[in-house]
Amino acid sequence: MRFLLNILWILLGGWVIWLEYMIGGLLLCLTVVGIPFGVQCFKMAGLGLLPFGKDIVDAPGASPIGCILNVFWIVVAGIWIFLSHLGLALGLAVTIIGIPFAIQHVKLAMLALAPFGKLVREAP
């Protein structure tokens, strides 16, 4: 079922989300200061391409530096990415067929709000 839902996700716009995060990550990695933020974009790109069957968990041993980077991320971009995924989730949740996709957008929204100190792993 995960496979089918991931294929539908890609066909219905998941590839656009992946492409946006990949381009953002590549642009951020052009500068030394932007590399940590680019790495987080790549993390979100992976989840944005194939979100079904993946969970977001807290990374063990998260540092205070990650907290500071999360604050900077939220102020600069995180809130806008969060709101866009939340808006897509609300639009999809209106239909019964869109509910599984809305849940994935909520998952992406939570990661986009504060990506530092989080890991994306396969669901059990």
Residue with tokens 């909520």: 106
Q: How far is CA 115 from CA 68, 81, 82, 121, in A?
A: 12, 11, 11, 14
Element (H, E) at 55: strand 54-58
Better pLDDT: 64 or 74? 74
Better pLDDT: 62 or 45? 45
Helix spans in the chain (H): 2-9, 15-28, 35-49, 64-73, 79-93, 99-113
Is residue 2 within 8 A of residue 100, CB to CB? The reply is no
| Summary mean pLDDT of the chain | 92
Does this model's pTM top 0.85? yes
